[in-house]
Amino acid sequence: SQQGEEDPQALSIQEGENATMNCSYKTSINNLQWYRQNSGRGLVHLILIRSNEREKHSGRLRVTLDTSKKSSSLLITASRAADTASYFCAIGGKLIFGQGTELSVKP
Amino acid sequence: NAGVMQNPRHLVRRRGQEARLRCSPMKGHSHVYWYRQLPEEGLKFMVYLQKENIIDESGMPKERFSAEFPKEGPSILRIQQVVRGDSAAYFCASSPSRGGGSGNTIYFGEGSWLTVV
């Protein structure tokens, strides 16, 4: 299966702390994308990292990619209550999603 | 620049009725994808279309489900004779050209929530 698998399934932290979510996959990829989904809403694209990139930043987000381990991580620094959402990694041309990590940031 | 527009946002159908979900891609996007999300699960790919063509329907159930993306107008996901198990959120996404694996961002709509009673 190409499916990305996120870990942990759920994460609860305090505002201001950092949150790290991991994604593992099984096939070779051209790129990997991370999305956020607030409850009852659509998916918001966060970041795309290509297979020849090791790290990418966007604001408080930092994504790493290790193609030798077939894994990626999403780090959210200085988290805010508004970061509370589910986070998904997706791979492949038609996007194969994992189950997601449910992040809860407590004020 | 409007995003991916889906309607209706919420739809209630009785068992056996038909559900039609519409999706207008972002301006300039000719590639459309449909996904289904069951409660507390991730999104599952259903179908990938370009204008007037179905490119990949490997995720579509074999019966009752169909999708189209005509030359003019929105993409339609049609579910005939709905059953309770069809209750889910259906998301449409679009990209300007072949998405994901080619490095193109795929943008999502807000979803259509189907409830079958």
User: Out of A48, A92, A97, whose CB is closest to B42?
Assistant: A97
Q: Are B108 and B26 in contact (CB under 8 A)?
A: no
Minimum distance, in Å, between the CA of residue B39 and any CA atom of chain A: 10
For residue B112, give the nearest of B10, B23, B29 by alpha carbon: B10
What is the residue whose two structure tokens read 């490095």? Answer: B103
A41-85 pLDDT, tens digit per residue, is 999 999 999 999 999 999 999 999 999 999 999 999 999 999 999
Is the Cβ–Cβ distance between B21 and B110 less than 8 Å? no
Residue-averaged pLDDT of chain B: 91
Tokens 């056996």 appear where? Answer: B16
pLDDT tens, residue by residue, B64-97: 999 999 999 999 999 999 999 999 999 999 988 7
Q: Which residues of A touch B100 (CB under 8 A)?
A: 31, 33, 90-95
Amino acid at A23: C
Contacts of B92 (CB under 8 A, 6+ apart): B4, B6, B21, B23, B25, B32, B33, B34, B35, B75, B77, B108, B109, B112
Which of A44, A90, A94 faces B56 most closely, judged by CB atoms? A94
* Whole-number Å distance between alpha carbons of A86 and A104: 9
pLDDT band with cut points at 50, 70 and 90 for residue B100: low
Specify which residues B22 forms β-bridges with.
Answer: B7, B76
Q: A90 and B111 in contact by Cβ < 8 A?
A: no
Alpha-carbon distance of B50 to B61, in angstroms, equals 19
The residue of chain B nearest to residue A39, with distances taken between CA atoms, is: B40
Calculate the alpha carbon distances from A100 to A11, B46, B56, B84, B95 in Å. 11, 18, 24, 24, 22
Give pLDDT tens digits for A2-34: 566 788 999 999 999 999 999 999 988 888 999
Which chain B residues are within 8 Å of A49, Cβ to Cβ? none
- Written as one letter, the residue type at B113 is W
For an interface test with B, give the residue of A94, A97, A101 to mutate (most B CBs within 10 A).
A94
Model pLDDT for residues A29-53, shown as the tens digit of each residue: 888 999 999 988 999 999 999 999 9
- The structure tokens 């589910």 sit at A86
Q: With CB atoms and an 8 Å threshold, state whether B45 touches A30.
A: no
CB–CB contact B101 A93 (8 Å): yes
